[in-house]
Structure formats: C-alpha cells, structure tokens
Amino acid sequence: MNQDQRPSLREELLEVVTALWFAIDHRNGAGASGFFLPHAELRFAVRAFYGTAEIDAVYAERAARGPRVSRHVVTNLHVTAAAGDRASALSTVILFAEDGKPPRPTVNPAMVGDVTDDFERHGDRWLISSRRIDQLFIAPTTVLAVPTR
C-alpha cells in the first residue's frame, strides 16, 4: 500500500467504526448488523456471535432491557494491516453506560477496551468481517448490556 493512501484508509475505517458506535448509542443497536458481513464474528470477552442474525439478536436483547444511556468514545484508531480489499484496525473504546434515562449520575468510564476490527471492502463500503472487544479496565460494578460470558 502506498503511504499516500494510508490516511484516507484510516479515515474510511474510522468512519465505519464511529457510525457503528453511533447506531449502538443512539438507536439501541438497531441496524448495527448492517456494518457487518453476513458471516461476521462479533466477540465480547469470551462470548462470540456469528452472522448478522445473531448480531441483530444481541442488540434486540439490549433494547428489550429498557432505557439505557451509553456513549462509546473511540480513539487511537491505528491501521494494523491493509492489502487490496482487506484491512485491520485497532482502536480504543471508552464506554460510559448505565441503565435508565438521562441524565445519569455516573461520571467514570464503565469500561476501557481495545477493539480489533477486520474489514473487507464490498463495492464502495468497508464492512466488518470480525470484531473483538477486549476489556482492559472494567469497574467491578459494571453491568454491560451485552452478554460477555
């Protein structure tokens, strides 16, 4: 890959990542599976979900729990590999989240983690073929809205 293409690729992948977190934070994950390939893997800690139907079910269960305020703040996206129509990136997510309606009294992050995404380009879109979220810091009282065990 040409060095001149790298910033453009980084921006394209960052756009996918931030749009996905927006869907999760502002739409309870409705439509989140549209950012994944049909056979994609989504892994939280030791729990994995395969394919868009299972990904849809994860976010439907999240929404069914009731009101939840969350903000997934993504930073430090680094393209770790790129060749042709495939790329990989590592980013950091800082999660502020709590069940209930806003405003919430929580001011500390619920979790800080690394997110490893593998992408494939289909037409003019990058889609996620694999996403792994590794928890680096997590408060002992944190209740995540998705199953991680």
* Inside any domain, residue 85: yes
Domain that holds residue 118: 3-138
Is residue 82 assigned to a domain? yes
Number of domains into which the chain is organized: 1
In a domain, 149, yes or no: no
Average of per-residue pLDDT across 21-44: 97
Q: Is the pLDDT of residue 64 over 60?
A: yes
User: Is there a domain that residue 145 lies in?
Assistant: no
pTM value?
Answer: 0.93
CA dist., res. 6 & res. 26, Å (int): 30
Give pLDDT tens digits for 33-45: 999 999 999 999 8
What is the structure's pLDDT at 26?
97
pLDDT band at 2 (very low <50, low <70, confident <90, very high): very low
Contact 69, 91 (CB under 8 A): no
In-domain check, residue 147: no
What is residue 1's predicted lDDT score, i.e. its pLDDT? 45
pLDDT at 28 over 80: yes
In a domain, 146, yes or no: no
Residue 144 lies in a domain: no
The domain that holds 108 is classified in CATH as 3.10.450.50
Give residue-wise pLDDT tens across range 105-140.
978 999 999 999 999 999 999 999 999 999 999 988
The reported pLDDT for the residue numbered 5 is 53
Q: Which long-range contacts (CB under 8 A, 24 or more apart) does 2-7 make?
A: 6/79, 6/82
What percent of the chain clears pLDDT 70, i.e. is strictly above it? 95
Q: Is residue 148 part of a domain?
A: no
